[in-house]
Structure 1
Amino acid sequence: MEDVICHYCHKQIRDQDELITASNKFQIRPFHYLCYEEIEEEANSQWKLWKPVNGITGNITAALMGLLALWMLFTDTLQGIGDLIGVLAAYPVLQRMVSYFKYEKKLPKFIEDKNDSPGDR
């Protein structure tokens, strides 16, 4: 099994409890939750801001955009423009799926004793 490495501190992420996947400019990267908080504080412009993909907000966004994409793609709402909106709305769903299969699926849900594991944060 391949290790998931934090994009900020370059240490191993041991479980899903520590993991935050975030996107910026069509990239999805894994972070420790503490490293992600540091990055949020350092971001001084909108272009340097990483947006979380997993977690409650990522799941809600993906679900709502998935419903919007299905509605726009499979009905005649707004004709051709609706199809374009549907394709664009499918992007957060695709991001969430890539995040899950590329990073989250590789990690256990929770490790009881994190102090004994290598790569302490």
Structure 2
Amino acid sequence: MSNTVHCDRCSQEIRIRGDLVTATMFFQVVPYHVDCYAKDLKGAKTLILNNQPINGFSGNFLTFIAIVVFIVSFFINDETRIYLSILSVIPIIYRLYSFLIYERHLEK
């Protein structure tokens, strides 16, 4: 496995963590440059897909909320407990996957 991260749109190497934006595309985590992500947002792909960034403030905030919901779901005694925990663990797994596969290989 290579330690280099390449943009999915322009295929150039991403070297700095601040230039990286990871997004989901059909349940797959895809790396972009910041500029390439902004250009790709204007394309037709985003009308069909949810192309929210995983890293950055919005992704970290969503992950924090998911962790809180996951912890609170253990204190609920309904049958909704399992649904809450499953739905809240999905963003947590995406964020961890994004960090382990792409972000940890880049310079700060």
Q: What is the TM-score of this pair, normalised by structure 2?
A: 0.91
Alignment of 1:42-53 (within 5 A): 42-43=43-44, 46-53=47-54
Aligned residues: 107
Equivalent-residue separation in structure 2 for 1:67 and 1:47 (angstroms): 29
Residue of structure 2 equivalent to 1:80 = 79
**Residue identity in the other structure for 1:75:** F
Equivalent-residue separation in structure 2 for 1:28 and 1:45 (angstroms): 15
Q: What residue ranges of structure 2 are gaps of 5+ in the alignment?
A: none
Residue of structure 1 equivalent to 2:92 = 93
**Residue identity in the other structure for 1:103:** Y
**Residue identity in the other structure for 1:37:** A
Residue of structure 2 equivalent to 1:12 = 13
Q: What residue ranges of structure 1 are gaps of 5+ in the alignment?
A: 110-121
Q: Provide runs of 4+ in structure 1 moved above 4 Å.
A: none
Equivalent-residue separation in structure 2 for 1:35 and 1:61 (angstroms): 23
Residue of structure 2 equivalent to 1:24 = 25
What is the aligned-residue RMSD (CA, Å)? 1.5
**Residue identity in the other structure for 2:101:** K
Contact kept in structure 1, 2:70 and 2:88, CA below 8 Å? yes
Contact kept in structure 2, 1:40 and 1:49, CA below 8 Å? no
Contact kept in structure 2, 1:5 and 1:30, CA below 8 Å? yes
Q: What is the TM-score of this pair, normalised by structure 1?
A: 0.82
CA deviations over 1:31-57 (Å, ceiling 9, x no partner) = 000000000011365324421000000
